[in-house]
């Protein structure tokens, strides 16, 4: 795919205004060293190069065919006959075009597998390999005179974004190794490409532009392979607003949303997730040759500046993202060098901070000198003796040349305070791929409460009381619940704190569930579900309606250990009431963590789709489940 | 200040490396047409222009002096003697340098007032008037060859940021009229400058870069004047993270935070607030010649594109900010023209959408053609027949020339999906300055509950029960509260649902407060306080600990009408439980709004610093205050 000795351009056009004319021009423009065979039955020559009526008419070996004609199927047969191992398909009308297109795609892939031809696309904009001088793409961004080379590679589900990132990178010296537009991922998918890039000598950081995750398992293992090879993987993922909610159905699902599930998934795989588009481009040098920082406390950055106002924009934003800014004097949040500081002094201060154990990263916020006098503040950054600690710069003015100087030295440079803070937040949230504990096997119980008991989770003392006398042995006061109804609160199906005198007022129908009243310090919700995209997930949040309104839950791929469950609980703001907030009595957070870890073991039971404890009452010593639900796969 | 016939540069240097040498060079470079008088006792000539030992030695009239020497005070005397009406002070060492500096500043201002000289600064980087060809500044950004002219003016509390915005604007054709660095605002402040700009013929949009608000009243009235003149005012304000919290002390204060108070203030004054720095620059054309949209429903944008992936980045972000994306077919969230669409078709679609009543704005998301083929998608945007409805563009690649083409035509262009969405969110949140209702006077009551009753807010039936027998006439069950303690929940000072049998277990000390138990559908918190920066504020939020954890409150400057209070309640997520969320019974939101409006009338009582009802129980018919607090000014 990346180093073809010869390429065939099937459907190449001689009309320079057409997209299909581009690949030939671009390959020549950027100095492709292999042979190029345009294929078009109505031309003898295209741009002065001999043209072939069909792929079958090419007598020499072809390593990679780019298919730009509607009849992809017959070209595929030609590929097989001529022994072409890889075909990239620009043509659309497959899974991108509704159910019929999806069927067509399935047939195409089936045939390609039978024939032994690998496919990129359909609906792919092609492949660019900058060190390999291969611009096999219809993306107009390659009109640019020189493609910027670098150690970053990109896999994109959007063909346009491949151009966007290359274009923006070129403007400021951030270069690329390989860029691949995967289109519909009918055969070669994001995961397999990440594997290829993990083994690619030119690639040092891997960027992903994602609209969805089609094969979570493959991508997860590819991310682990990249991690093992010391290559950070970064994702920008769309679908954070409406899309996530649309998928959500059940109660836990509504809280989780598919985007939050993906967030948990990325964290679990050691994939760094960025919030802003520009961060995807700018973060690469920050991660290059570094390992996940894995701090067990809030991160601290020392910000050096001669421009207070400029530094304040980034300090403010870092603060919003929970990153502290510190200085050795312990007072000011920034290290403010006066305008009179010399370049020597500037560099010395940077080096002192890089050596200082009180900070986890150093950021220089540079004002107008970045634009007109790089010798003053930019050169000290370039010259500072690097350590393992990240050194980065934010330039307040328009300063593309200075950004390019940083890029050459592999130092992260940021155009906006927001992307700078986003990048640092993503860097500090970066974790090594998690080794999930091997789940002790759990057994399937249809009854939700029995299921919990089988996992070792305490269940409230309860009994079914039946008509006509509704006798039971639960001590008063009790809770009385109708049986077999979800969302009981909303339908008035729960009576709490019922005394013996009032008990019969609350019995209805054939039977009711009578539970001992338990009061704790807080209510929690603990959930488990098999997400259609990322697989088994466990969730913990504060109980009650408000927690749902505020979407205040933490998710992780199941199973989790108790320690990991504790870390999840830490991320739930509403559960801070259990951790001694405002001197409220502390709850048994450890028992809550045990319950979360226990429920997460359901991933060993293939028949369970979803389970939820809501609420789980958290007391000063222990937790008790008072309502639960289990959904099995049909 | 802006159109001086002659300027004096006091402390001008002949050493080109020094900051103090810059203004003379910059004035000449950018074609200042008036006379320039360098003042420096140790030079006869600077850059071939005659130099004066002191300001007093200049015999001709001087309209504006720039002071760059430490002994500001004696230069001020010279200014007065020579009849110089305005002095800009670059020198620092005043309020920027601790309490002693602040005293020095106070003396300086007192003397300037006595002498009739107006001051800009101290610690100001000066003034730039681009149409007037006046670059009276030490800011190195003015090294650029040509200053970009336009209808936007900037008032900045940071001198660097003046350069940052000018530099970034110049790179993409966004020009300025006047730029003023206000420094310490000892005399001329942001408010007065906004007034000047409201009356300035060259200024059409006013941008503010703020670190604080020193005179909220003056700025509020200036913003109203600008609004009346049809000139939108936009603010980027620092201090959203730690700074806000540091100021917060009391309970309501902790929820409000000073940044949230400023947010309410900006909204009240009709000042558009942006979240991201680049938005401050990019938003100007979106607001130019427009009025606040004031929609009573979620805003809708039609996004036109030929690049699905590029459009998705901005659609996703708009969605996160509560802005819907719509298309006339009612199905797709974008209007996706195929790559084959002609420029004529592109333009026609834009014009149809600008005429379509189903959307409130039109956004074109343009891919690589923005960089290499502006004739395809950029020219249709430039050519489309404009209506009152905003038309804007987001370019996915690096495309500064195309951005400049938009700027020339006064069409908003965005570099990042995030700033684009931020700008639209700010635009749609824009309201005309609010006319506050004139408060019916309230009376001061020391007792919190009496105060509430005097405002017409229902208070729970209650009585103080005293030792030894603690007799009272409140029907059981009751709530028993210790007297004279704040944050009673935390100290165990409240017993709820106490039966007659158990009453005496809960009586302590000399007396307790006995209240009838009221149960409602939800608890709310309603607060009032006089903020040190923006003045009287009213606050409403969901009651209980969680609401505080989630900072889920709405603020407005007091007083508010009932209708305004209803709009505040709409903004509180946690109060959606009262509005029929998940079929829960509806609460009397109207009564809650009446209580908010009533408490806001406290702004007519000068002696009250703070008041809070927490909780206010909201039932199906009416609200009842069960705990309250009032703090008077000492």
The predicted-structure confidence for A313-349, as pLDDT tens digits, reads as follows 898 899 899 999 999 988 778 888 876 689 999 999 9
Whether the CB-CB separation of A126 and A138 falls below 8 Å is answered with: yes
CA distance A276 to chain B (A): 7
Q: Is A397 within 8 Å of B161 when comparing Cβ atoms?
A: no
Q: What is the pLDDT of residue A140?
A: 87
Return the closest-CA partner of residue A359 out of A310, A323, A305, A400: A323
Closest CA in chain A for residue B543:
A546
Q: What are B363-422's pLDDT values in tens digits?
A: 999 988 888 888 888 999 999 999 999 999 999 999 999 999 999 999 999 999 999 999
Q: Is A160 within 8 Å of B308 when comparing Cβ atoms?
A: yes
Closest in A19, A160, A242 to B396, CB measured: A160
Q: What is the pLDDT of residue A392?
A: 98
Q: Is A160 within 8 Å of B368 when comparing Cβ atoms?
A: yes
Q: What is the pLDDT of residue A252?
A: 27
In sequence order, what are the beta bridge partners of A45?
Answer: A50
**Cβ–Cβ contact A276 with B under 8 A:** yes
Q: What is the pLDDT of residue A633?
A: 84
Q: Is B368 within 8 Å of A140 when comparing Cβ atoms?
A: yes
Give the model's confidence band at A291: pLDDT under 50 very low, under 70 low, under 90 confident, else very high. Answer: very high
* B215 DSSP 8-state letter: -
Q: What is the pLDDT of residue B246?
A: 37
Q: What are B571-593's pLDDT values in tens digits?
A: 998 898 888 776 777 899 999 99
* A52 DSSP 8-state letter: B
CA distance B313 to chain A (A): 7
Closest CA in chain A for residue B551:
A550
**Residues of chain B found within 8 Å of residue A584, distances taken between Cβ atoms:** 490, 545
Whether the CB-CB separation of B128 and B3 falls below 8 Å is answered with: no
Write out the DSSP string of A325-357: E--TTSS-SSEE--TT--HHHHHHHHHHHHH-T
Which residues in chain B (151-180) have CB-CB distances under 8 A to chain A?
156-161, 163-164, 167-168, 170-171
**Cβ–Cβ contact B184 with A under 8 A:** no
CA distance B91 to chain A (A): 13
CA distance B524 to B329: 42
Q: What is the pLDDT of residue B323?
A: 92
Q: Is B319 within 8 Å of A240 when comparing Cβ atoms?
A: yes
Closest CA in chain A for residue B305:
A160
Closest in A367, A417, A584 to B163, CB measured: A367
Q: Is B309 within 8 Å of A209 when comparing Cβ atoms?
A: yes
Which residues in chain B (117-156) have CB-CB distances under 8 A to chain A?
139-141, 143, 156
Mean pLDDT check: name the lowest of A189-203, A477-491, A525-539, B261-275: A477-491
Angstrom distances, CA of residue B270 to CA of B87, B225, B264, B300: 31, 11, 10, 21
Give CA angle at B424 (B418, B427), nearest 5°: 140
**Cβ–Cβ contact B369 with A under 8 A:** yes
A246 vs B125: which has the higher pLDDT? B125
CA distance B285 to B279: 11
CA distance A61 to B2: 74
Q: What is the pLDDT of residue A248?
A: 31
User: What is the separation, in whole angstroms, between the first and last Cα of chain A?
Assistant: 42
Mean pLDDT check: name the lowest of A426-435, A581-590, B219-228, B417-426: A581-590
Q: What is the mean pLDDT of chain B?
A: 90
Question: Is B220 a residue whose pLDDT tops 60?
Answer: yes
Question: Is A471 a residue whose pLDDT tops 50?
Answer: yes
CA distance A586 to chain B (A): 12
Mean pLDDT for A48-66 is 96
Q: What is the pLDDT of residue A254?
A: 33
Q: Is A416 within 8 Å of B310 when comparing Cβ atoms?
A: no
Question: Is A212 a residue whose pLDDT tops 90?
Answer: no
Q: What is the pLDDT of residue A257?
A: 46
Q: What is the pLDDT of residue A489?
A: 59
% of chain B at pLDDT higher than 70: 95
Question: Is B117 a residue whose pLDDT tops 80?
Answer: yes
**Cβ–Cβ contact B305 with A under 8 A:** no
Q: What is the pLDDT of residue A486?
A: 62
**Residues of chain B found within 8 Å of residue A144, distances taken between Cβ atoms:** 372
Return the closest-CA partner of residue A271 out of A214, A210, A320, A328: A210
Q: Is A143 within 8 Å of B552 when comparing Cβ atoms?
A: no
Question: Is B492 a residue whose pLDDT tops 80?
Answer: no
User: What is the separation, in whole angstroms, between the first and last Cα of chain B?
Assistant: 42
Q: Is B164 within 8 Å of A239 when comparing Cβ atoms?
A: no
Q: What is the pLDDT of residue B544?
A: 73
Mean pLDDT check: name the lowest of A25-39, A119-133, A160-174, A540-554: A540-554
CA distance B308 to chain A (A): 8
Give the model's confidence band at B251: pLDDT under 50 very low, under 70 low, under 90 confident, else very high. Answer: very low
Distance of CA A498 to the CA centre of its chain: 48
Q: Is B545 within 8 Å of A242 when comparing Cβ atoms?
A: no
Question: Is A56 a residue whose pLDDT tops 60?
Answer: yes
Question: Is A246 a residue whose pLDDT tops 50?
Answer: no
Mean pLDDT for A269-293 is 97
Give CA angle at B173 (B171, B175), nearest 5°: 105
Question: Is A281 a residue whose pLDDT tops 80?
Answer: yes
**Cβ–Cβ contact A418 with B under 8 A:** yes
Q: What are A537-583's pLDDT values in tens digits?
A: 999 998 877 677 788 899 999 999 999 999 999 999 889 888 877 67
Closest in A171, A320, A416 to B277, CB measured: A416
**Cβ–Cβ contact A398 with B under 8 A:** yes
Contacts for B341-344 with beta carbons within 8 Å, 24 or more apart? B341/B306, B343/B375, B343/B376, B343/B377, B343/B379, B343/B380, B344/B380
**Cβ–Cβ contact B519 with A under 8 A:** no
**Residues of chain A found within 8 Å of residue B159, distances taken between Cβ atoms:** 309
Q: Is B141 within 8 Å of A577 when comparing Cβ atoms?
A: no
Which site among B92, B259, B316 would you substitute to test the A interface, given the most A Cβ atoms closer than 10 Å to its Cβ? B316
What is this model's ipTM? 0.93
**Residues of chain B found within 8 Å of residue A307, distances taken between Cβ atoms:** 158, 160
Question: Is B554 a residue whose pLDDT tops 60?
Answer: yes
Q: Is A312 within 8 Å of B158 when comparing Cβ atoms?
A: yes
CA distance B360 to B391: 10
Closest in A156, A164, A573 to B550, CB measured: A573
Q: What is the pLDDT of residue A339?
A: 65
Question: Is A47 a residue whose pLDDT tops 90?
Answer: yes
Which site among B492, B549, B577, B614 would you substitute to test the A interface, given the most A Cβ atoms closer than 10 Å to its Cβ? B549
Residue B568 tokens, joined:
């505040």
Candidate ranges A350-364, B239-253, B434-448; pick with highest mean pLDDT: A350-364
Q: Is A549 within 8 Å of B276 when comparing Cβ atoms?
A: no
Q: Is B240 within 8 Å of A309 when comparing Cβ atoms?
A: no
CA distance B372 to chain A (A): 7
Question: Is B612 a residue whose pLDDT tops 60?
Answer: yes
Q: Is A158 within 8 Å of B308 when comparing Cβ atoms?
A: yes
Closest CA in chain B for residue A583:
B490
Which residues in chain B (203-222) have CB-CB distances under 8 A to chain A?
209, 211
Q: What is the pLDDT of residue B197?
A: 98
Q: What is the pLDDT of residue B245?
A: 38
Whether the CB-CB separation of B565 and B594 falls below 8 Å is answered with: yes
Question: Is B247 a residue whose pLDDT tops 70?
Answer: no
Q: What is the mean pLDDT of chain A?
A: 90
**Residues of chain B found within 8 Å of residue A19, distances taken between Cβ atoms:** 339
Q: Is A371 within 8 Å of B143 when comparing Cβ atoms?
A: yes
Neighbours of B151 (CB within 10 A): 19
Residue B466 tokens, joined:
């005293």
Q: Is A310 within 8 Å of B158 when comparing Cβ atoms?
A: yes
Q: What is the pLDDT of residue A260?
A: 87
Closest CA in chain B for residue A547:
B546
Question: Is B252 a residue whose pLDDT tops 60?
Answer: no
The size of the A-B interface in CB pairs under 8 A is 209
Closest in B168, B242, B368 to A398, CB measured: B168
Which site among A25, A367, A581 would you substitute to test the B interface, given the most B Cβ atoms closer than 10 Å to its Cβ? A367
Return the closest-CA partner of residue A532 out of A116, A303, A250: A250
CA dihedral over A55, A196, A260, B366, signed as positive or negative: negative
């Amino acid at each position: 795919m990346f180093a073809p000795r010869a390429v065939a351009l099937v459907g190449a056009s001689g009309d320079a205004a057409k997209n299909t004319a581009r690949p030939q021009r671009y390959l020549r423009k950027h100095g492709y060293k292999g042979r190029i065979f345009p294929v078009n039955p109505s031309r003898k020559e295209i741009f002065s190069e001999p043209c072939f009526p069909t792929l079958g008419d090419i007598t020499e070996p072809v390593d990679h065919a780019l298919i730009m004609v509607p009849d992809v199927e017959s070209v595929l047969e030609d590929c097989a006959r001529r022994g072409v191992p890889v075909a990239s398909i620009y043509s659309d009308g497959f899974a991108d075009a509704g159910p019929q297109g999806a069927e067509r795609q399935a047939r195409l892939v089936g045939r390609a597998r039978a024939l032994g031809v690998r496919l990129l696309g359909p609906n792919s904009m092609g492949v660019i390999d900058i060190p390999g001088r291969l611009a096999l793409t219809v993306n107009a961004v390659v009109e640019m005179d020189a493609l910027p080379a670098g150690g970053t590679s990109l896999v994109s589900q959007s063909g346009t974004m491949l151009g966007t990132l290359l274009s923006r990178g070129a403007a400021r010296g951030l270069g690329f190794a390989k860029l691949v537009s995967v289109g519909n991922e009918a055969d070669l998918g994001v995961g397999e490409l990440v594997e290829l890039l993990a083994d690619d000598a030119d690639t040092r950081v891997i960027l992903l532009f994602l609209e969805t995750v089609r094969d979570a398992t493959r991508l997860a293992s590819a991310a682990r392979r990249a991690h093992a090879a010391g290559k950070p993987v970064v994702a920008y993922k769309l679908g954070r607003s409406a899309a996530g909610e649309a998928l959500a159905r059940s109660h836990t699902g509504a809280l989780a949303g598919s985007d939050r599930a993906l967030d948990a998934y990325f964290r679990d795989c050691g994939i760094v997730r960025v919030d802003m588009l520009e961060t995807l481009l700018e973060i690469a040098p920050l991660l290059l040759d570094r390992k996940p920082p894995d701090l067990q406390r809030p991160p601290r950055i020392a910000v050096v500046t001669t421009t207070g106002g400029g530094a304040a924009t980034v300090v403010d934003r870092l603060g919003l993202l929970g990153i502290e800014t510190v200085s050795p004097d312990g007072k000011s949040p920034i290290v403010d060098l006066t305008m009179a500081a010399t370049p020597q002094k500037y560099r010395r201060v940077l080096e002192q901070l890089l050596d200082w154990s009180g900070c986890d990263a150093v950021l220089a916020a540079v004002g107008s000198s970045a634009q007109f006098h790089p010798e003053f503040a930019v050169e000290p950054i370039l010259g500072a003796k690097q350590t393992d600690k990240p050194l980065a710069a934010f330039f307040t003015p328009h300063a593309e040349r200075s950004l390019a100087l940083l890029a050459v030295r592999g130092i992260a440079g940021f155009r906006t305070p927001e992307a700078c803070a986003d990048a640092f937040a993503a860097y500090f949230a970066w974790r090594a791929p998690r080794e999930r504990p091997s789940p002790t096997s759990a057994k399937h119980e249809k009854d939700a409460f029995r299921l919990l008991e089988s996992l070792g989770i305490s269940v409230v003392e309860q009994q079914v009381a039946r008509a006509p006398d509704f006798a039971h042995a639960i001590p008063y006061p009790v809770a009385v619940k109708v049986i077999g109804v979800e969302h009981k609160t909303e339908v008035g199906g729960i009576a709490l704190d019922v005394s013996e005198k009032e008990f019969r007022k609350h019995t209805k129908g054939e039977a009711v569930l009578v539970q001992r009243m338990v009061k704790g310090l807080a209510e929690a919700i603990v959930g488990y579900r098999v997400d259609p995209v990322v697989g088994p997930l466990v969730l913990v949040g504060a109980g009650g309606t408000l927690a749902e309104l505020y979407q205040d839950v933490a998710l992780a791929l199941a199973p989790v250990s108790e320690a990991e469950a504790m870390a999840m609980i830490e991320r739930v703001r509403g559960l801070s009431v259990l951790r001694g907030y405002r001197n409220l009595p502390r709850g048994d957070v450890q028992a809550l963590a045990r319950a979360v870890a226990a429920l997460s073991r359901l991933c060993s039971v293939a028949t369970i789709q979803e389970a939820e404890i809501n609420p789980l009452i958290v007391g000063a010593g222990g937790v008790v489940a008072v309502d639960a639900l289990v959904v099995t796969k049909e």
